[in-house]
Amino acid sequence: MTSTAIQEQAEVLRFPPGFVWGAATAAYQIEGAARDDGRAPSIWDTFARTPGKVFAGHTGDVACDHYHRYVDDVGLMADLGLDAYRFSVAWPRVQPDGSGPVNPRGLDFYDRLVDELCGRGIEPIVTLYHWDLPQTLEDRGGWPVRDVAAHFADYAAAVYGRLGDRVGTWTTLNEPWCAAFLGYAAGIHAPGRTEPGAAFAAAHHLLLGHGLATQALRAAGAGRVSLTLNLSPIVGAGPGAALVDGLLNRFFLDPVLRGRYPADILEHAARFTDLSFMRGGDVAVIATPIDVLGINYYSPSFVADGAHSPGDPAYPGTDGIAFLPATGATTAMGWPIEPAGLTALLERVARDYPGVPLIITENGAAFDDRVADGRVQDLDRVAYLDGHLRAAHEAISRGVDLRGYLVWSLLDNFEWAEGYRKRFGIVYVDYTSQRRMLKDSARWYREVIHNNGVGDS
């Protein structure tokens, strides 16, 4: 080995051979083409048009126009050297009514996208549900209604039928906690309802839909099936921290990976609903084995017991619990920057739920990016990503079976209720011209992928 090679080896924290490097997006956030080729409205189309729900009345009607620019976008991915690209399928493109006949023109788009990815040597990772429920299903009651879970499994089978010969990894749901509790309890995400009891029913039916879809995908021949959860270390002591951890983390991890709901959270949920929506055999379906667990990590949550604290409506029944603001550095979302929280989270999941490989399916940050002299010098994002990759590397060194890392997000995009004012992308998007520009973080990430590691400072 030459002296140069020895020096390079010493300067890079290497990840295991075969570690997957990728990027992630979601359909409603980037595709646009909201009325093209038979696509029907989703709950996010409706929510975005409801006055006061989304910043400045922004919608996903055009977004990044990825529907028409996907070839160029895949070219960007290839330029960065991505191993994998995680994208979601828009349910209302495939089944405009949410059930019944499949819209072949909707599936045609994903057919073309998958072919383009495969042709450039990029593994497609499909997420079947990233929050864009067909509005027709919400009109019939939405996720609190049991039938939606069965419709979701039918939809999953239909998508697999078209793409299954080229897609190896299938993720059923993205962040069911957000879909259930931000959408049905806090009302700050679509469909904008504030019904805590309905939120618990929605959470159960989302998980049931995951289990039914997993079974349908397995029956059709799927190789790898996954679920992606947004998880967070809860920093604090006392009963309040245990309750928040139960609502955010254990209520989803336990039924999927242990075959039972946590008893304390079921008792808590019974304050809001009679739990009659949970039927015998449901949890066995939910616990259908998965091949990999996707983890979306952004920050820890800091809580403390406080008698006069109002709690947070996204966590029903947390009156008397204070959700504390960050005290250190934050992103443009106001989220604390805590890379060590990722190490702790990965270790916790590996310890408490052993036997399932892990992949980081989202990690990234919004900052106030500006174009200057033809560049976006987002050094704060580079520092954020570097710190979190070091934290992931530390978890691997402690024995965690972590298989890959997908940065959020490939492109600046429609950031849900924040509209277009928050930028998470490593690629800058000028929403007027739709011009793409690699930020410095994208160039840095390209080197990370090339080296299969981060520089050792």
Contact by Cβ (8 Å): 88, 127: yes
Report the amino acid identity of residue 262. Answer: P
Asked if 362 is an active-site residue, the reply is yes
Helix (H, G, I), strand (E, B) or coil at 404: strand
Count Cβ atoms below 10 Å from residue 327 Cβ, excluding itself: 8
Per annotation, catalytic residue among 175, 338, 394, 415 = 175
Q: Give the C-alpha separation, 351 to 373, whole Å.
A: 48
Give yes or no: 8 in active site.
no
In the block, residue with structure tokens 């009659």:
276
The answer to whether 284 and 217 have CB atoms below 8 angstroms apart is no
Residue 171: count other Cβ atoms within 10 Å of its Cβ.
Answer: 27
Q: Which amino acid is at 135?
A: Q
323's enclosing H/E stretch is: strand 321-323
Q: Which residues in 256-320 belong to E strands, given as ranges?
A: 292-296, 301-305
- For residue 399 the two structure tokens come to 């024995």
In angstroms, the CA 409 to CA 429 distance is 12
Query: Of 138, 362, 394, 415, which one is the catalytic site residue?
Result: 362
Q: Which residues are known to be catalytic?
A: 175, 362
